[in-house]
Chain A
Amino acid sequence: MSLKPPVGVQRLPRGPDPNSRGFDRSSPRFIALCPTSIPSSASTGPGIEEEQRVRSELRERFLRTLLMMTDKPVQFNMYEKVQVPARFGASDIDILNFQVSDLETPLGVQKEALLWCQDVISCSFEL
């Protein structure tokens, strides 16, 4: 990771309430993006057990991927061909926000930042 000095956090004027805009769980944006239930193809019977088992297996692998990514330098590939490196911290449960450190932006290095996953196309790292 680079040793560039971080820039001071620029605080823009606060928007209308509720604060934190799209990160707020009661905001229309969050509600629109966050699924409140998971659909399943099988309604009853043995099919649903198998589906649930596979769902758990897939999710466990994904959680382990996030664990592998933790504290590593990650390249975030955003829209408009924007590539920003940062150190990955954590994700929320719905994979809507990523917490990162030392985010290198064209404005300078942001010590701590939250990324909207909707803005991220992909991210990559080395093991």
Chain B
Amino acid sequence: KWRDMNPLEWREFIHHEVCVTACDEQRFEGSVFTVDPVSASVVLVTFQETDRASVRVILGHAVKEVRILRSGSEETERRMKRLIVPDTTPSLCPEELQSRRENLRLWLERNRFPVTEDGQDLRVASVLTISAPYRPEDCSCTNEIILARVQSLVQNKQYAPTITDDIT
């Protein structure tokens, strides 16, 4: 029954404190971080006093019942959202971002990738997007081969000397 639910139904559980009964009658409690739509696996998070957290993944095939115990608090929701964006890179000012973007654009063009600017983002070969602050993990693309190639270029860019005007 759990596995037959649709994503909208699973989404109803997110952030709430639940008790999951597994097929061997074990019970697990925690706040729902997500339910995998492919395997129906439930991810429970229990936040500790300090910044630590315990995470438990209960495989979908082993889930017998999921019961909501308490509504999720805003604090829980906030801490969970931070799990999704764990990188606390120091925020760059607009000029630095602009210069990084420009340098990266030139670097990609020198490596024979057509690049256009799309607001704050760089659009590479019309299929890949790089958003601020233009690190390898800021690349997104549906083609994994192009993604890997561009990511390694962006990675190398960080160690290459800054491109100045007189090189071109």
Contact = CB atoms under 8 A, between A and B. Distances in A.
A121 B23 contact: yes
A64 B59 CA distance: 16
Interface residues of A, number: 34
A24 interface: no
Given A55-B7, A58-B35, A124 B54 contact: yes
Contacts of A51: 6-8
Contacts of B93: none
B52 interface: yes
Contacts of B168: none
A14 B11 CA distance: 44
Interface string B22-58: 1110101000011111110101000000001111111
A40 B56 CA distance: 27
Nearest to A63: B36
B38 A65 contact: no
Contacts of B160: none
Interface residues of B, number: 34
B61 interface: yes
B41 A95 contact: yes
B11 A122 contact: no
24 contacts: A51-B6, A54-B8, A58-B7, A58-B35, A58-B37, A59-B36, A59-B37, A61-B43, A62-B34, A68-B55, A68-B86, A95-B39, A95-B41, A95-B59, A120-B59, A122-B28, A122-B58, A124-B56, A125-B54, A125-B55, A126-B53, A127-B52, A127-B53, A127-B83
Given A41-B6, A65-B55, 9 more contacts: A62-B41, A62-B43, A64-B83, A69-B55, A95-B39, A122-B22, A122-B57, A124-B55, A125-B55
